[in-house]
Amino acid sequence: MPRPRKRRNVCCLPQISEFVPIGETGFPSEAVVITVDEYEAIRLIDNEGLSQEECSDLMNVARTTAQQIYASARRKIARALVVGLPIRIEGGDYRICNGKGQFCGRGQCRRHGMWQTEQEEQK
């Protein structure tokens, strides 16, 4: 029997969960689906500039698992860009951080605090 999958820590859900190419007259019914944990890996590594090791710490997974999640997300995004397919973010094995460090591998969730500050500034 295989080992059960470990739930990955995610600071917050994406504000926008669907992206569609512009200029298409009819959209294909097929969409590339990126899981929430893949989105989080892309956000932490590419957007926040963290290393894969730092990403794995925040997501509470092994470094090799973080590499696999990240590589899978990059392949899916590349396919969507090259073929011109919509991207949808949904599903995956994850749990949302409560901002108090309950799930954070470092004892505190600085990313969640930064996200809340950004939301307050936008209001």
**Burial of residue 10 (number of CB atoms within 10 Å: 0-12, 13-18, 19+):** buried
Query: Residues 45-80: pLDDT tens digits?
Result: 998 899 999 999 888 899 999 999 999 999 999 999
> What pLDDT score does 25 carry?
60
For tokens 């739930």, the residue is 7
> Structural domain boundaries of the chain?
8-18+29-122
- CA terminus-to-terminus distance, the chain: 50
Is 41 within 8 Å of 3 (Cβ atoms)?
no
Task: Report the mean per-residue pLDDT for the chain.
Answer: 81
* CA dist., res. 34 & res. 89, Å (int): 5
Query: Residues 3-21: pLDDT tens digits?
Result: 777 788 888 888 999 998 8
* CA dist., res. 58 & res. 11, Å (int): 9
* CA dist., res. 36 & res. 16, Å (int): 12
> What pLDDT score does 106 carry?
44
User: What distances in angstroms separate CA 94 from CA 24, 41, 80, 89, one per listed residue?
Assistant: 33, 12, 23, 13
pTM of the predicted model, to two decimals?
0.77
